[in-house]
Amino acid sequence: MIVDDEPNIVMSLEYTFKKKDFDVYIARDGEEAIEILKSKIPDVILLDIMMPNVDGYQTLQYIRENSTTKNIKVIFLTAKNKALDIEKGFTMGVDKYITKPFSIKKIVAEINELMTS
């Protein structure tokens, strides 16, 4: 699942993962992501932090507190690159933290690492 409010980022990630035959779910904010998670359980969620309505921190909190979603691998994909932001992400239970701008190759490698660990 890709959760981001930036259309260009969503489009490039969606294209990459569909090309690799992944099922891809798209949410434009945390509120939409939570709705999707009520019926779909993805293996990995790429989650932006700064979004309208429900932000990435609130979305991650929902994911980790819900028994059906708590084991989903979550990667923060964000422009928030300060040490305090990164520490907060890991404290809240994110599995990986990637800052924007990013390399698609790095994201694919991080997802592969999460899926094999």
Please check whether residue 41 lies inside any domain of the structure: yes
The CATH number linked to 16 is 3.40.50.2300
Of 57, 55, 50, 59, whose CA–CA distance to 42 is shortest?
A: 59
Please check whether residue 103 lies inside any domain of the structure: yes
Whole-number Cα distances in Å, 63 to 20, 46, 107: 25, 13, 20
pLDDT at residue 117, as a whole number: 78
Burial of 59 (0-12, 13-18, 19+ CB in 10 A): buried
Please check whether residue 92 lies inside any domain of the structure: yes
Please check whether residue 116 lies inside any domain of the structure: no
Residue-wise pLDDT tens digits, 53-86: 999 999 999 999 999 999 999 999 999 999 999 9
Counted domains in the chain: 1
Please check whether residue 117 lies inside any domain of the structure: no
Whether the predicted model's global pTM rises above the 0.85 cut? yes
- DSSP notation for 4-34: -S-HHHHHHHHHHHHHTT----EESSHHHHH
Residues of the chain with pLDDT under 50: none
Please check whether residue 52 lies inside any domain of the structure: yes
